[in-house]
Amino acid sequence: MLKYFTMDEFVCSHTGKVEMNVNFLKRLDQLRERCAFPFVITSGFRDETHPNEVEKDSPGTHTMGIAVDVAVSNGYERRRIVEEALKMGFNGVGVAKSFVHVDDRVSPPVIWSY
């Protein structure tokens, strides 16, 4: 099904569950293809009981299986992921020093920094 990823890469670090949206994963695979460098997923699915989710007012896109954080080690990788994700229509893009978050939220498109 996926060219670049295995389901093990998306497992919740808190519960061991993995409930990723298949269409999102196909789009993530395409994003990886377009970027032309390996992606290391630092956060995939998160159960609602995950410490990062419990702190929020309501569960985020990771709990819906439509979000990942991809490790980046330089500005080129950061820019390339953001650029291609926006071209592909990912509606949520968050930029941090060590990772880029991409998601398929249904609300109006947003971009933010950490």
Residue 11 lies in a domain: no
Does a structural domain hold residue 6?
Answer: no
Range of the domain at 71: 19-113
Q: Report in angstroms the alpha-carbon separations of 65 from 2, 48, 74.
A: 15, 11, 26
Q: Report pLDDT for 57.
A: 84
pLDDT tens readout for residues 55-109: 888 889 999 999 999 999 999 999 999 999 999 999 999 999 999 999 999 989 9
Give me the phi and psi of 93, to 5 degrees please.
-135, 120
The SS3 of residue 102 is: strand
Residue 12 belongs to some domain of the structure: no
Quote the number of domains for the chain: 1
Q: What is the pLDDT of residues 23-66, one digit of tens each?
A: 999 999 999 999 999 999 999 999 998 888 888 888 899 999 99
Alpha-carbon distance 82 to 17, whole Å?
27
In a domain, 59, yes or no: yes
Does any domain span residue 4?
A: no
Question: Domain for residue 86, yes or no?
Answer: yes
CATH number for the domain harbouring residue 75: 3.30.1380.10
Please tell me the pTM assigned to this model: 0.94
Instruction: Read off the pLDDT of each residue in 5-15 and give the average, rounded to a whole number.
Output: 95
Is residue 1 in some structural domain? no
- Give per-residue pLDDT as tens, 13-26: 999 999 999 999 99
Residue 39 lies in a domain: yes
